[in-house]
Chains A and B, each alone.
Chain A
Amino acid sequence: MASTVIQTHALTRSFGPRRGIVDVDLAVEPGQIFGFLGPNGAGKSTTIRILMGLYHASSGSARVLGLDPFADAVEVHRRTGYLPGELAVYPRLTGRQVLDRFASVRGLRGTRYRDQLVERFGAEVDRPTQTLSKGNKQKLGLVLAFMHRPELLVLDEPTSGLDPLLQLEFATLLQETTAAGRTVFLSSHDLDEVQRVVHRLAIIREGRIVVTDTVEGLRRHAPRTVELTFDHDVDASALDRVDAVQASAWTDPGHLRLTVAGPMAPVLRAIAPLDPVDLFARPADLDELFLGYYRSTDLQEA
């Protein structure tokens, strides 16, 4: 698609012998909130820095807003708002001084939207930034990223350090941003913090993308838990032969827990002859699935 906002092909970056990222493929469409998830050290910041033209890639390609992140860095930066992962602002300047300078670099004249953002997040802008807590610095970083209403926001762990109320405010801001047709690419190591806001997500682990899907799609593919209660001894081996059953385990005598991924009907047909007295099914536990992607060793594209 020509208007794809972020597109990478086999993007790779190594640091000497050390793994950075390997063959990362991403496609972010306009108006999306795209979540980039993975544990610490997975390669999120490395990918983001390449997208922002801060790091060079070892191989592969990246286009941002249809432009080359390095060759066209000035244009990309003009149209993008960036929040670095480990945000550091000049410690001896106040937030306002930093905002004023950065606004001037960007040629912003009006301060209305910026002041609104400061107000919304309760950002402390009149003290030297070295006296600010992590959360307060993060608020300043968010204002710096959003203040010029960029077409694209690239936010590296934006919710870290924000209290729950501000996370909510941040989610609202994201909705407004994409409602106006703008695009957000954000990273996080915590699914919980972003699953309600992102439209689509990619999970990166040890430098490689392990799955790209919508939250809904992930949920659909996520295994469900089915718990069966019996008042008599049963031979459950028939259940293990059903394709969709990934695992079965007796939690107590008389209580069997199944992990099911796939269509439920064959499972139900296998269960019926066993004559359970009770059945309890839990919906997809996304966190479990997510942790599974973090942990498992042999992964396939979903």
Chain B
Amino acid sequence: MHADIARIDLRLRRRSILWFAGGLAFYAFILVAMYPSVRSDSSLGDLTANNPTVGALLGVNGSLTSPTGWVNGNLYANFLPLMILLLTIGYGASCIAGQSEDGTLGLVAALPVSRRRLVLEKSAVLALIALPVAVVTMAFILLGRHYDLTLPTSAVVGTTVAVLVMGVDFGLVALIIGVLTGSRGMALGLASGLAAASYLVSSLAPVIGWARTVRPASLFYWAVGSDQLTAGPSSTAWAVLLISALVLNGLAVVLVQRLDIR
């Protein structure tokens, strides 16, 4: 047994994994290459420095043209998580509910593989499908030091991993909603909605009081919402993100064990 079920699912998504990784690598490169020409643009910098609301919406704390401001505002606080969530929520919704809807799950569930193992392989795929996107993006951002865009390496690596874990968390949420509702569409919709709410809470917290109150419930906050590119995610952030993954995974195992599979 060599994680064959995971391999099947990865194979099915190979193309979209590559396209996402290629697309985001290109975007990250443009972003890095543009930096030398924007970093001295004070009007662009003041856009967020003087207006915390705009800064909040972009996920920037301070100047947009500082290295962290530029990378957060254009990538880590929004675009990178969005792309990773598209992959993980998409897979989470399809890997049980979707495959059950198109009938392919029955054949797999009749293989000599326990349901616990089935869920573990699907969870592993959640992490693996987003890994290439995260790694190539991170690589280009780290190349930024040749374009005056210097960020602490450990903070960039840490934040990238945190975004990845958050992607897995929301992917598991989609998987669980799919198991509960039996509907891929419902899983996609509800999980995306939750992710969007989580994003809004995290990004509006600096300017809206109630958002700040509920902010600890937002995974976005723990992954990218508090200037992680400067110091890396806190140990509390790691605990929240990783414990969420473990709990969600455990819940998924229990629910899938009780599931009727066609």
Contact = CB atoms under 8 A, between A and B. Distances in A.
B182 to A, nearest CB: 12
Most buried by A among B8, B12, B102: B8
A113 to B, nearest CB: 18
Contacts of B113: 74, 77, 105
A87 to B, nearest CB: 7
A102 B260 CA distance: 21
B258 A73 contact: no
A64 B12 CA distance: 33
B260 A101 contact: no
B109 interface: yes
A49 B262 contact: yes
Contacts of B193: none
A105 B104 contact: no
Nearest to A103: B4
B249 to A, nearest CB: 20
Contacts of B109: 54
Contact of A90 (B1, B12, B114, B258): B12
Contact of A55 (B4, B115, B261): B261
Contacts of B152: none
A73 B107 contact: no
B110 A101 contact: no
Contacts of A77: 110-113
Interface residues of A, number: 31
Contacts of B114: 73-74
B146 interface: no
A104 B8 CA distance: 11
Given A56-B258, A77-B112, A102-B111, A84 B106 contact: yes
Contacts of B1: 104-105, 107
Most buried by B among A73, A89, A92, A97: A73
Contacts of A89: 104, 107
B27 to A, nearest CB: 27
A26 B90 CA distance: 42
B51 to A, nearest CB: 48
B12 A93 contact: yes
Q: Chain B, interface size: which category?
A: 20 to 34
Interface string A194-214: 000000000000000000000
Contacts of B107: 82, 84, 87-89, 141, 144
Nearest to A90: B104
B7 interface: yes
A54 B108 CA distance: 10
Contacts of B106: 49, 54, 84, 88
Most buried by B among A49, A91, A97, A105: A105
A231 interface: no
Interface in B1-60: 1-2, 4-5, 7-8, 11-12
B103 A105 contact: no
Interface string A46-89: 00010010111000000000000000011101101010101111
B260 A54 contact: yes
A269 interface: no
Interface in B132-184: none
Interface of B: 1-2, 4-5, 7-8, 11-12, 102-104, 106-107, 109-115, 258, 260-262
Which 5 A-B residue pairs are closest in the complex by CB-CB distance?
A: A88-B103, A78-B112, A77-B112, A82-B110, A105-B4
Interface of A: 49, 52, 54-56, 73-75, 77-78, 80, 82, 84, 86-93, 97-98, 101-102, 104-107, 141, 144
13 contacts: A54-B106, A54-B260, A54-B262, A55-B261, A56-B260, A77-B110, A77-B111, A84-B107, A88-B102, A88-B107, A90-B8, A104-B1, A105-B111
